[in-house]
Amino acid sequence: MRALSSRNTQSNIVLRNEIDKIRLLFRKDRESYLCFYRILGFYPRNIQLYEQALLHKSTSVRSDKGRPLNNERLEFLGDAILDAIVGDIVYKRFEGKREGFLTNTRSKIVQRETLNKLAVEIGLDKLIKYSTRSSSHNSYMYGNAFEAFIGAIYLDQGYERCKQFMEQRIINRYIDLDKISRKEVNFKSKLIEWSQKNKMEVSFELIEQFLDHDSNPVFQTEVRIEGLPAGTGTGYSKKESQQNAAQMAIKKVKEPTFMSTIEEIKIQHSATATEMETEMEIEFATDSETELATGLENEPETELNANPEIEPENVSEKNILVDEISTVQATEAPATSQSKSPCDDPESPNRDLQ
């Protein structure tokens, strides 16, 4: 039943192509149709969709309603359709594989680097309309156009024709599914995973940032393993430069000479760290002994001040002397405390009146 359905579908495609070929004879822009036919394997119905898919936003045009026309909306649609189609193909190709494996394999196919290469393989790079300034730093422009192209196929021909294009014209010709499923793509993650497994210190440092001839920012990153430069990468984004640097470093760590040098540096770092720990322990022990000795010297004075009931002998003698003086003053107090009368004073002016 499935084979019969497939034959009917194939017959319909052949019949439709013949009808489109006849219509093409009466079109003035048949060269454009033939160009897309060589890429697609069928004639477009609405050629404007494919032309828009190849129109970069740097050269946007206005529609009759005044809206900008470029390939961004088709790129959005094509991204979703491409995920579904590749997921369908991978699911059927790798029976029994887990979800994580299928997801990783699909992501390797639909990532921008792969789509860039596919766009060049089928010749889309020669058909894209863009400004020279935009192309100099947009390294994913071809991949974006490929997604937009998929969106155009979907709108023009439907899902099944779109899937047929991906299977027959793309994957069967340019992609080895078994090989790409084993391929490591995220070089930075791979390098970090390797460093953690081998207990190596890895760092990514931005060593330079400059402008290219079109004044677009360019980043250069260096990867260091145990402080030793292992690779450099350049890109129009920090992420791209880090990926390129990590890719070079992964190749570097496979060299026996480089790894021998890294091992020697690692041993030196370990020895230095051990010496520093020993010095810190000795310094800590010395400080502890000093604090203990200082505490013993101050201990009698501390105990004396801490107990107010214990007083030195000279303090007691002073208290006895003070008590004796107080007793004498108390005995003489009545005589000195009587107040004098003016009559008792011989010099008083009132004495003559008595």
147 has binding-site annotation: yes
Judge whether 55 and 152 are in contact, CB under 8 Å.
no
Flag whether 198 is marked binding.
no
Q: Which residue of the set 51, 147, 156, 222 is catalytic?
A: 147
Buried b or exposed e, range 161-182, using 16+ CB within 10 angstroms: bbbbbbeebbbeeebebeebbe
Residue 150 CB contacts under 8 Å (≥ 6 apart), including other chains: 78, 81, 82, 85, 162, 165, 166
Q: Tokens 């210190």 label which residue?
A: 201
CA 342 to chain centre: 106
Neighbours of 43 (CB within 10 A): 19
DSSP, residue by residue, 236-298: SSHHHHHHHHHHHHHHHTTSHHHHHHHHHHHHHHHHHHHHHHHHHHHHHHHHHHHHHHHHHHT
SS3 65: coil
**144 assigned binding-site residue:** yes
Rg of the chain (C-alpha set): 47
Other beta carbons within 10 Å of 229: 14
69's enclosing H/E stretch is strand 68-69
Long-range interactions of 80-84: CB distance < 8 A, separation 24+: 81/150, 81/151, 81/154, 81/159, 81/162, 82/110, 82/147, 82/150, 82/166, 83/110, 84/159
Choose, from 79, 83, 113, 125, the residue flagged as catalytic: 79
- How far is the CA of 283 from the CAs of 26, 276, 278, 280, 340, in angstroms? 95, 10, 9, 5, 80
CA distance 115 to 141: 10
Q: Catalytic residue at 184? A: no
Residue 147 among the catalytic residues: yes
Catalytic residue ranges: 79, 147
